[in-house]
Amino acid sequence: MIRLESIRKDYGSMTAVKDLSLEIPAGEICVLLGLSGCGKSTTLRMINKLIPPSSGHIYINGKDADEYPVEKLRQSMGYVVQSIGLFPHFTVAENIATVPRLLKWDNARLDRRIREMLMMVGLDYDTYSKKYPNELSGGEAQRVGVARALAADPPILLMDEPFGAVDPLSRKHLQNEFLKIQRELKKTVIFVTHDVEEAIKLGDKIAIMNCGELQEYDTPEGLIIRCKNQFVKDFLGSEYAIRVLARFSAGGIAHERDAKSEVCVPASENLQVALSVMIERGSSSLTVTSQDGTSVGSISIGDIVDVLRNTEN
Ligand code: ADP
Ligand code: MG
């Protein structure tokens, strides 16, 4: 869906992005992860044609981005950023309507869409539609930012540290809501962050950059098994594998063998929590229960170790 071919961006003698090649399949979330200044935002800006690459090519749906008129290209990409944010003199409703208005939607359709978008991001229409950005909390403003980016239903979403400025709890909420929305809409997403935890949670694949260069590009699980790059290993941290466990549910790996352990976890609980419960309770296996409390099987420590190794793709 999006293919970068040897993209490079020079600022004078400084190279912000160096020979970056990356393929992002349709419907997936690709997280660009790296330290501040490693070239993440520059990469997004090139994809969005805010700045031209010094060399290399960007293909959208197999067609060179140069062949698309800028406006057409931008309308096919929702863009969410942390800092520029919303237009301060527009209400929430007007902010959300930005691109649909450019596309000349009629008022009835616009209003329907604004209501739909606010509902999707969990904001009440009557309370919020007429507010101005300075009357919103950081988390609310980010929700409106996401609603605005999705309003014209673009197939591509570029998100540059969108949840970076909100408190940790709101950030978790926003991440969960975004994942819920994404499961339904299946946009092709490039999501920039410097936060390893956020990358693990959201990424179908993670592209790790350093000093403008791509270091590794793999699934979160693949990075545990295949990564040989020392910079990446240090950057992800020695507890990385434990963190990746949060991506899997206990129900997903429960074996239908006799569940003997009195220590239980709900099937919806993630494996990081399951492992923590095992350690706390001094038990090397767990019974996994459904919502009504009946057993759906069991998991052992060995099953948890195996899950990270059996998710090859
Ligand atoms: P990130 O988003 O990963 O924090 P950026 O892509 O914003 O990093 O920046 C990458 C590098 O390019 C940084 O060293 C930054 O200072 C430099 N840079 C970005 N934009 C410009 C510009 N317009 N002129 C000169 N240097 C820039
Ligand atoms: Mg940046």
Residues 142 and 170 occupy one common structural domain: yes
Residues 220 and 263 occupy one common structural domain: no
Residues 227 and 252 occupy one common structural domain: no
Q: Over the chain, what is the mean pLDDT?
A: 92
Expressed as residue numbers, the domain containing 278 is: 248-310
Question: Relative to the CA of 161, which ligand 1 atom is closest?
Answer: 2
Q: How many CB atoms lie within 10 A of CB 164?
A: 17
Question: Relative to the CA of 42, which ligand 1 atom is closest?
Answer: 6
Instruction: State the ligand closest to the CA atom of 17.
Output: 1
| pLDDT exceeds 50 at position 313 | no
The domain that holds 304 is classified in CATH as 3.90.1280.20
User: Which range, of 110-114, 168-172, 196-200, averages the lowest pLDDT?
Assistant: 168-172
Residues 221 and 256 occupy one common structural domain: no
In this structure, which residue's CA is closest to atom 13 in ligand 1?
37
Residues 8 and 46 occupy one common structural domain: yes
Question: Among the three residues 205, 227, 243, which one is the final residue of a domain in this structure?
Answer: 243
Residues 261 and 221 occupy one common structural domain: no
The domain that holds 174 is classified in CATH as 3.40.50.300
In b/e form, how buried is each residue of 272-289, taking b as 16+ CB within 10 angstroms? bebbebbeeeeeebbbbb
Residues 43 and 190 occupy one common structural domain: yes
In this structure, which residue's CA is closest to atom 5 in ligand 1?
39
Ligand 1 proximal residues by C-beta, below 6 Å: 11, 14, 16, 34, 36-42
Mean pLDDT, residues 217-239 taken together: 95
Question: Among the three residues 213, 243, 273, which one is the final residue of a domain in this structure?
Answer: 243
Residues 51 and 133 occupy one common structural domain: yes
- Tell me, yes or no, if the pTM score tops 0.85: yes
Question: Among the three residues 215, 243, 271, which one is the final residue of a domain in this structure?
Answer: 243
21 CA to middle of ligand 2, Å?
Answer: 19
| pLDDT exceeds 80 at position 83 | no
160 CA to middle of ligand 2, Å?
Answer: 7
Residues 234 and 263 occupy one common structural domain: no
Residues 227 and 271 occupy one common structural domain: no
User: Which range, of 127-136, 151-160, 304-313, averages the lowest pLDDT?
Assistant: 304-313
Report how many domains make up the chain: 2
Residues 237 and 257 occupy one common structural domain: no
